[in-house]
Amino acid sequence: MYAVTLDGFGEPEVMKWAQVPDLPPPGPGEVLIEVVAAGVNRADLLQRQGFYPPPPGASEILGLECSGVIAAVGPGVRDRHIGDEVCALLSGGGYAERVLVPETQVLPVPEQLDVAAAAALPEVAATVWSNLVMTAGLHSGHLLLIHGGGSGIGTHAIQVARALGARVAVTAGSEHKLQRCRELGATVLINYREHDFVTVIHSEYPGVDIILDNMGAAYLERNVDALAEDGQLVVIGMQGGVKAELNLAALLAKRGTIHATNLRRRPEHGRHSKAEIITELRRHVWPLISDGTVVPVVSAELPITDAAQAHRLLDAPETVGKVILRIG
């Protein structure tokens, strides 16, 4: 089969579409997917640069989500069948013609949605629901602040939060991105290149109930400042660095909580597992997608042979939402 391989670590050009060994037949509880499309995520860019190695036992091939058609099923698989159109959350391997994945990480393509577009869903949907709802308990009446509102995670989080009745504030680096966030339901729009988000928040509210943060160290102090009493900071990325000083007194004064989470390294089964998250998505998020309340926001779709351009696009300031690679 063919897959994207890495000719060392570095710029996008290290990625090559090349022949690799065929996959074995699916094992117990696994399905084999003929991949139609793969979502591009920031984690892919980090892995390409050598900063985000896959967990032990995971495929070295890039790609944390895909969509396609089930080509084979392993022993013990009960709910998935050959020919099903599906999308899947992966630990790796999505930038390939075929991928093996546990049945418990596979979801049906939502009704009314093209199979390729479904590749934009598993990673963002799992990240948003597991962090905002399962971890932070987001509900109606909460004020949520999303850093990077124009990203794939941000555009999905806005829609899910609005569907749950929460109010949404976002930061983004351009008026183009902020306008798209407004269209999706955000009501507090902060251009971080022009305004300090803490000042803007406190000019209108006592603070925010939940912050979904992709910046890490660079925003830690200001995130704590922006929290309301009993507020929660959920850190899902480290684009602004990994080390910062924390003023515990400020956090204690607000009875605040900081969560730091990682999706890729979660266990397959059990408490806080990928299987648990996928079950939640099927029950709560997939109906919202099927009825059009939540839609995948896709900025660009490119052939897998243009993976380098896809990575550049994900980093481009004009890109809003996801970039997907068409494979099959």
Query: Closest Cα to residue 69, out of 101, 44, 41?
Result: 101
Buried b vs exposed e over 259-288: b needs ≥16 C-beta within 10 Å? Answer: eebebbebeeeeeeebbbbbebbeebbbeb
C-alpha pair distances (Å), 28 with each of 32, 99, 102, 151, 279: 11, 15, 9, 36, 19
Residues in contact with 80: Cβ distance below 8 Å, sequence separation at least 6, in sequence order: 31, 70, 73, 86, 103, 106
> What pLDDT was estimated at residue 318?
92
Tokens of 290: 């099927």
Tokens of 221: 């102090």
Residue 79: pLDDT above 90?
A: yes
Tokens of 224: 């704590």
> What pLDDT was estimated at residue 205?
97
2-121+296-326 and 124-260 have identical folds: no
Helix (H, G, I), strand (E, B) or coil at 276: helix
> Tens of pLDDT along 281-318?
999 999 999 999 999 999 999 999 999 999 999 989 99
Please say whether the beta carbons of 300 and 310 come within 8 A: yes
Residue 328: pLDDT above 90?
A: no
Residue 219: pLDDT above 80?
A: yes
Residue 60: pLDDT above 80?
A: yes
**pTM (predicted TM-score):** 0.97
**Residue whose token pair is 């058609």:** 69
**CATH number for the domain whose boundaries are 2-121+296-326:** 3.90.180.10
> Tens of pLDDT along 178-188?
999 999 999 99
Report percent pLDDT > 70 for the chain. Answer: 100
Beta bridge partners of 322: 298
> Tens of pLDDT along 112-164?
899 999 999 999 999 999 999 999 999 999 999 999 999 999 999 999 999 99
Quickly count: other Cβ atoms within 10 Å of residue 160's Cβ. Answer: 25
Average per-residue pLDDT for the chain: 97
Query: Closest Cα to residue 307, out of 10, 21, 62?
Result: 62
> Tens of pLDDT along 222-257?
999 999 999 999 999 999 999 999 999 999 999 999
> What pLDDT was estimated at residue 91?
96
Mean pLDDT for the stretch of residues 40-52: 96
In the chain, what are the domain boundaries? Answer: 2-121+296-326, 124-260
Residues in contact with 307: Cβ distance below 8 Å, sequence separation at least 6, in sequence order: 4, 12, 15, 17, 40, 62, 95, 325
Residue 52: pLDDT above 90?
A: yes
**CATH number for the domain whose boundaries are 124-260:** 3.40.50.720
